[in-house]
Each structure stands twice: as structure tokens, then as C-alpha cells.
Chain A
């Protein structure tokens, strides 16, 4: 599976959109992009995933560039409860999920 690069930490003001970037320049055509988050002392929580097209669900939007070498997770109106570590993972179907260090997002009042 391709490796990902994420910023170590980010801040966001409450109520504003949080845009979390992820680089995956070696992604191959059959690899999906997944996003998870982990709130302190809890297990990771699935947020969203996509292959080529942009995706949206009740939690977030996922924007994947046309060349698929990077993606952005968007939390449209961040709240204090969105403070967490966010993991970007690329994975081929059938492979297990490998987590990197992620981005620590702090939402500030």
C-alpha cells in the first residue's frame, strides 16, 4: 500500500471549516483513500473513504485530486468535539489497514 504524508498538527477555529490535507503521491489505481479519527482514549472511528470521485457523508467531505496524488478531508463546521487525531490511509481492497502518525487537529473556541 502507498504511504501517506500528513501535517503533524493543525488548529481550527470553532464553527469554521477544517481542511486536513494528505499526500499520497505513490498511490496506485486500485487503492482507496480512507480517513479515520481518534478522539482521546477511544478507538479510531471511520469517517469516509473514496477511490476517485469526491465523497460526502454526514460527517465530512473528501476531495481527491484528479491525479489522485493528494486528498483533503473537510469538516464543514468544526466543533470542539472534532478535536482528535485524523488518519489518512491508502489501501488496496483485501489488505489490512496500516495507520501512520496522523494529524492532531485542535479546534479552538
Chain B
């Protein structure tokens, strides 16, 4: 069964800490995405990547950065965590840019910043 795996299901971090959220996919997908989901706001796209070492800003990139050194791994980095970054973070992957196939999502990481 194909998978997108997020390293942690629940995470608690302190304000100001540098936080790494890891995502790995085993489907050889070109594209990978990071979303956050908040009540009443739905899923919002933070960053995405169409290839190794490539990254594009989504709708809400402020306060975040990403790294994609290998095709299967896409990391989301909170440089200095703040309480307003408490959220559910969802990683997804998909086939190449001109494929009509949908996304496969991970189970999510619920991050609490205290």
C-alpha cells in the first residue's frame, strides 16, 4: 500500500524553538506539499515542491521554510516556533505537474507550541 508518512503524530514545542516536520513518500512522486489545517480556515497551502531542491511558496509561507534534498523526503521547518503556528500540519504528494491524478496525504502532525 502506497504511503505518505509523517514522522510524528503529535508534537509539543516551546516558543522560539526550531521545529522540523518530516514527510516521506514511497511512491516516487515528483510533487510534494505542506498544508496546515485550522478550524474554520480549512486547508491552507504553505509550500510545495515539484522536484528535488525546488520549492515554491504557497498561500501562507511566512514563518516557514522547506527542504527537499531527496525526492522522497520533504521537510517543513519552523525557524522560530510561535503560538500561532499551533495547528494540524498535513503533507501530501502527487505525480508530476501534468498528471491529473490526485494527491496522497499523510495522517498529519498535530503541533502545539507553548
**Cβ-neighbour of A44 out of B43, B97, B98, B101 (below 8 A):** B43
Interfacial chain B residues near A100, Cβ < 8 Å: 42
Please tell me if A10 contacts chain B, counting CB pairs below 8 Å.
no
A43 to chain B, nearest CB (A): 3
**Cβ-neighbour of A93 out of B33, B100, B107 (below 8 A):** B100
Interface size on A (CB < 8 Å)? 20
Tell me, in angstroms, the Cα distance from A36 to B102 when the chains sit together.
Answer: 9
Contacting pair B105 A94 (CB below 8 A): no
Contacting pair A42 B97 (CB below 8 A): no
Interface flags for A66-109 (1: CB within 8 Å of B; 0: not) read 00000000000000000000000000011011111110000000
Contacting pair A44 B105 (CB below 8 A): yes
Residues of A within 8 A of B (CB): 32, 34, 36, 41-46, 49, 51, 93-94, 96-102
**Cβ-neighbour of A98 out of B45, B92, B108 (below 8 A):** B45
Please tell me if B48 contacts chain A, counting CB pairs below 8 Å.
yes
Tell me, in angstroms, the Cα distance from A101 to B38 when the chains sit together.
Answer: 11
Contacting pair B107 A96 (CB below 8 A): no
Interfacial chain B residues near A46, Cβ < 8 Å: 102-104
**In the complex, what residue of chain A is closest to B43 when comparing beta carbons?**
A99
Contacting pair A43 B48 (CB below 8 A): no
Please tell me if B81 contacts chain A, counting CB pairs below 8 Å.
no
